[in-house]
Copies of this chain bind each other. A is one copy, B any other.
Amino acid sequence: MTADPAAGKLPVALDAMGGDHGAAPNVDGAVQAARAGVSVLLVGHRVALHAELGKHAGSAGLPIEVVDAPDVIGMDEHASDVRRRTGASISVATRLVKEGRACAVVSMGHSGATMASALLTLGRVRGVERPAILTHLPARGGFTTLLDVGANADVKASYYAQWAQLATVYLRVVEDREAPSVGLLSIGEEDHKGSALVLEAHGLLRALHGQGIHFHGNVEGRDIFLNTTDIVVTDGFTGNVVLKLAEGEAKVLFGWVREALTSSLKSKLGALLVRGSLRGLAERMDPSTYGASLLIGVRGLAFIGHGSADARAVKNALLRAQRAHEANLIPRLEAAFAEQAQGTAPA
């Protein structure tokens, strides 16, 4: 068990070569996280990483260690390559978790490779058929937790039920939400609305209500931003479309606001006055705020970030990883599913 409390303050393993911008934002983010108290194992080309670390004055005294990995899986390579490329940074980083030398793995690199590596090396929580990618979307009054946002394009009804349970334990344990509500993404609030698969999932979720989850019922696309429920479960195809649409829309809408603010002399003057207030808003919508998404359902902590992640995203991902570890997320997930298998409701 990698997340055993007895293991104390284990470092987080960072695939320091992953992402569109290579080592620089990873090392920068690791230095920032280390300054905030997170121990980090930087996994990748030893020489390159030491060189990058050297650019950060005072980094020598931080809890950062370099672990050599001679190979990197590029963003355009096949996820399945992970199996034979044991020297790739993601493979080495995940193995550190498996061996109990790190409490979590974080990668801004090839998502498919990270998922494959986690699944192959760490295995699944018993009772979970397929891990899902869990993320947070900014919403009215806070954030909505959404899963699956892309691990499973083709799903079975039973996955939705398991994902609802995983996310419930996650919010309870990591975010201190006492009884998080679960919504099933559909095309109408009424119970009978949806695809055949969603109707089947609805039945399973309904049966679990009060048995470890609080099932609100169906929610619609708009509810994700309205924060109608704490958790929204959906298949990995719809969830991925939702995630990318939400990001794309925010980008385009804020671009339009920016255009409108500079469309006349009068509005340009006004823009100078409102700039400060709008900056906070842009930050709220910035994906870097959450850092990375959690691959939930594997037997170990694995976080998957945007290839375009900046240092802030890397830092926040490392902080989130440490928090999930300190909250004993993996043992708590295993306990919940074990209790359920014995016919009792998860704690």
Contact = CB atoms under 8 A, between A and B. Distances in A.
A150 B195 CA distance: 10
Interface stretch (A250-258, A292-300, A313-321): A250-258
Contact of A244 (B222, B237, B276): B222
Nearest to A76: B190
B153 A194 contact: yes
User: Interface size bucket, A side?
Assistant: 35 or more
A245 B267 contact: no
A278 B251 contact: no
Contacts of A50: none
A343 interface: no
A225 B237 contact: no
A273 to B, nearest CB: 3
A255 to B, nearest CB: 7
Interface string A240-280: 11111111111111111100110110110111111111101
A113 to B, nearest CB: 14
A243 B251 CA distance: 17
A264 B273 CA distance: 10
B280 A276 contact: no
Nearest to A196: B154
A248 B224 contact: yes
A273 B276 contact: no
Interface string A33-70: 00000000000000000000000000000000000000
A252 B139 CA distance: 8
A221 B245 contact: yes
13 contacts: A140-B252, A153-B193, A153-B194, A187-B240, A187-B241, A221-B246, A222-B248, A224-B245, A225-B248, A241-B241, A253-B253, A260-B274, A260-B278
Shortest 7 CB-CB distances between A and B: which pairs?
Answer: A270-B273, A222-B248, A221-B244, A221-B245, A270-B274, A187-B240, A153-B195
